[in-house]
Structure 1
Amino acid sequence: MSTGRLTIDLNAITENWRALDALSPSTVETAATVKADAYGLGIAPVARALAAAGARTFFIATAEEGAALREALGPSARIFVYGGHMAGDTDTIGDLGLVPMLNSIEQMTRHFESLPGLPFGVQLDSGMNRLGMEPAEWAAVRDITMRQGPQLVMSHLACADEPGHEMNRTQLANFHEMTRGLGVPLSISATGGTLLGPDYHFDMVRPGVGLYGGMPFEDAATVVRLSLPVIQVREVDAGEPVGYGNSWIADRPSRIATVSAGYADGVHRALAGKGIAMYHGATACPIVGRVSMDLITVDITDLDGDPQALDLLNTMQRIDDLADAAGTIGYEMLTALGPRYVRRYTSAAA
């Protein structure tokens, strides 16, 4: 093995989807968000596994992603585009039967004029101030929009990963006010909102990161295992440095494994010195020295022999453990996993 191997457990993804689906009554549809190439794990195999598990509605960010998803799933899946109907997307949306979530009067005008009568949804801004129509803007076009028959009206929560945050209740109240009497399916919740409980479920939830083993879904099954090959093992004496800047000095005679991966592969440079290990079976081997572009150095002194590979991600060290150490979030760690890894999909536990 000359490059790292990223093993993606499709059973774990579908197990997580079913677990989140079980939190809502059968009247609430559980969709699946597979944007950003299914959070870096491969949109085609992931979406096919979710469809086989029962998912019928999918969300992506752009029309281009929708084209890849339509090719993977065929004509039966319903595909919503969070980014809406952008200039230049008309043919893709129309030809592939995508459903844009219209975010502005400009997008509504574009859609109604270029694709009259074709499906659409509406995204409202309930307080996040990122995407969607604000209350006054929505009030001005609400009646004419509803006569066109949107398939879905949605919003997005800013602080759903903090259950006690007052912003959740504020946005919920705003969304109720903006959608009162519409009589069409409503949605406000991704993973975090799904976990907030039935007040936030409405007609559809659309989990994303929780499907892939990320927080705030604490009970998620582990989805990814990342195994990295050892290129070389060397002996260093007490007092000798390892890596750029002499940032780590051996305090005993040590064996150092140099592993093939680095920040070019999504292993953040900020992980150095933060207590992150690599694993040989159940044995943790500390990362020492700086993470460089293509290489990581690991202290394997306490192993009985020299391993051929070490795991950076497994059931003992998950994506959010790396994210916490790097001062970021699991979403970024997942989507940063580099193209040099050999991806292996399995239906058994990795």
Structure 2
Amino acid sequence: MTDFPIPFEDDDLFASAGLRLTVDLTALTENWRDMARRSGAARASAVVKADAYGMGIEDAGEALYMAGARDFFVATVDEGVTLRLYAPEARIFVLSGIWPGTERRFFENDLVPVISSDEQLAFWMAVLADYGDYPCALHVDTGFNRLGLGMNDAIALADDVSRPASFAPVLVMSHLACGDDPAHTMNKRQLESFRRVSAAYEGIDASLAASAGIFLGEDYHFDLTRPGIALYGGEAVNDLANPMRPVATAEARIIQVRTVQAGETVGYGRALQLRRESRLAIASAGYADGYMRSQSSGGVPLRQAVPQGGQGFIAGQKVPIAGRITMDLTIFDITDLPENAVRAGDYVELFGKNVPVDDVARAAGTIGYEILTSMGLRHERRYVAEE
């Protein structure tokens, strides 16, 4: 016990957090407006699955709703129930569809199931027989071979005069397999296939383009687009300068700064041997927080293919990761920064305005989607917006 008084004050959780995430809601809504403009005559929805790509479905969903989004896509019924509280008049589509035991939650929260398989379709027909008219969406596979009704089955269903009158889809949709590669021939093949499907469902909204598909041009836009990663500042198209505003900034506190002599090694497996006397900053983030081990500077298989590991940003400069990232800690080499430029308690940017999330992803051998959606529960979040 101490023999001196400790003044207790209301905690500023963000200021004192070991890990913190700043979400720029103005950038988020501006990105949505940008994608809405690029969608031309089509309406732009907002994809907020995976807790709005890690940003927080409550705050992100409400901001997008206030910006004008009226169509939303979530992955699960739980996400839809949460979003309904923040988007009261929106049309909310549940991509995983409806399953026995979830009917009440769909109806009570006015959620629209996306029907993606013969089994779901049969169950949905049985539900309609008991409950009467209720909207749904149909997901049709045009070559992705992931989810979706077969094309021939979907087209036959459109012309099936024996189908129940209460079966009334409000949307028919598909998904591009290679939209992030504008030159890929698969895009045009899927476009032609989807045109056949949408023609069979004349008068019903059609949707093919997610973020990457929007950049492919108006032929791919149909009635409704589905921007996702672009809303959150991520790259949607390969080898194209990213026009989106960064939304998330992740930071970790520096716990310790230490000087290590030339010739000594750093971290697990002695993965890095220092060639000079070095100053190292140990930050409170690791792979348990989604800061992936694969972007370590050494001691991981990926470095054999991509020599450079990840970087952070502190004191106005990018600094390299030193050695292996561990569960809760990452070491950064700050030797090239001025003496005393970094102190214990300072914060290093893991990704954000100075270290694009997709650069972090490339160093980790993955994509920005995975970095954003893999952040653990230890990030204290702050939401900022321009007045």
- Give distance in 2, aligned partners of 1:123 and 1:334: 26
Q: Deviations over 1:90-131 (max 9, x none)?
A: 111111110011112322232232242011111111110101
**Structure 1, residues 180-208: CA drift from partner, whole Å, max 9, x if none?**
14221100011011110000000000100
Amino acid of the structure 1 residue aligned with 2:190: Q
2:325 corresponds to which letter in structure 1?
V
Shift of 1:141: 2.2
Q: Which ranges in structure 1 are unaligned for 5 or more consecutive residues?
A: none
| Aligned pair partner of 1:189 in 183, 186, 209 | 209
The partner residue of 1:139 within 155, 176, 192 is: 155
What per-residue deviation string (whole Å, max 9, x for no partner) do you get for residues 29-75 of structure 1? 1000000100111001001110111101100011111111112222x
**Which one is further off, 135-144 or 313-322?**
135-144
Change in Cα spacing, 1:51 to 1:2, as seen in structure 2 (3 Å) is: closer
Equivalent residue number for residue 44 of structure 1: 58
Shift, 1:318, TM fit: 1.1
* Superposition deviation, residue 86 in structure 1: 1.9
Counterpart CA distance in 1 for 2:384 and 2:164 is 44
More divergent stretch after superposition (209-218 vs 39-48): 209-218
Name the residue aligned to 1:22: 37
Q: Distance in 2 between matches of 1:127 and 1:220?
A: 29
2:184 aligned partner: 165
Correspondence for 1:254: 278
Provide Cα deviations, 1:246-285, integer angstroms capped at 9, x if missing partner. 1111111111111101000000001112332211142111
2:20 equivalent in structure 1: 5
Correspondence 1:319 to 2:357: yes
* Equivalent residues of 2:134, 2:168 under 8 A apart: no
Higher gyration radius (CA): 2
> 1:130-157 deviations in whole A, cap 9, x for unaligned?
0110123223422346953211111111
Q: What residue identity is the alignment partner of 1:202?
A: F
**Other structure's SS at 1:85 match:** coil
Partner residue in 2 for 1:298:
332
Classify the secondary structure of the residue corresponding to 2:170: coil
Q: Match of 2:48? A: 34
Q: Quote the offset at 1:346 in angstroms.
A: 0.5
Equivalent position amino acid for 2:154 in 1:
W
Deviation at 1:211?
0.3
| 2:89 paired with 1:70 | no
Question: What SS is found at the alignment partner of 1:344?
Answer: strand
The residue that corresponds to 2:370 in the other structure is 332
Which segment drifts farther, 245-254 or 201-210?
245-254
Q: Give the whole-Å Cα distance in 1 for the aligned partners of 2:313 and 2:351.
A: 8
8 Å Cα contact 2:158/2:200 also seen in 1? no
3-state SS, counterpart of residue 261 of structure 1: coil
8 Å contact kept, 2:182–2:216: yes
How many positions carry a matched residue from both structures?
Answer: 347
Quote the residue 2:295 is aligned against: 271
Aligned-partner SS, 2:132: coil
Amino acid at match of 2:358: D
Equivalent of 1:81, from 94, 104, 114? 94
- Unpaired segments ≥5 residues, structure 2: 1-15, 298-307
User: Helix, strand or coil: the match of 1:149?
Assistant: strand
TM-score for the superposition, normalised by structure 1: 0.95
Question: For residues 57 and 96 of structure 2, what CA distance do their matches in structure 1 show?
Answer: 17
Q: 1:47 to 1:109 in 2, by over 3 A?
A: same
User: Match for residue 240 of structure 1?
Assistant: 264
| Alpha-carbon separation, structure 2, partners of 1:106 and 1:216 | 32
In the TM superposition, structure 1's runs of 4+ consecutive aligned residues that sit over 3 Å from their partners are: 144-147
| Distance in 2 of aligned mates of 1:110 and 1:72 | 29
CA distance in structure 1 between the aligned counterparts of 2:110 and 2:39, rounded to whole angstroms: 28
Structure 2 length-normalised TM: 0.86
The aligned amino acid for 2:56 is: G
Matched, 1:126 2:136: no
Tell me which amino acid in the other structure corresponds to 1:81.
V
Q: 2:246 aligns with which of 206, 211, 222?
A: 222
**Which residue type is aligned with residue 130 of structure 1?**
R
Kept in 1: contact 2:27–2:247 (CA 8 A): yes
Q: Deviations over 1:322-342 (max 9, x none)?
A: 111111111111100111010
Q: Which amino acid is the alignment partner of residue 337 of structure 2?
A: L
Could you tell me how far apart the structure 2 residues matched to 1:2 and 1:85 are?
39
**Could you tell me which of 196, 199, 217 is aligned with 1:177?**
196
SS of match in other structure, 2:159: helix
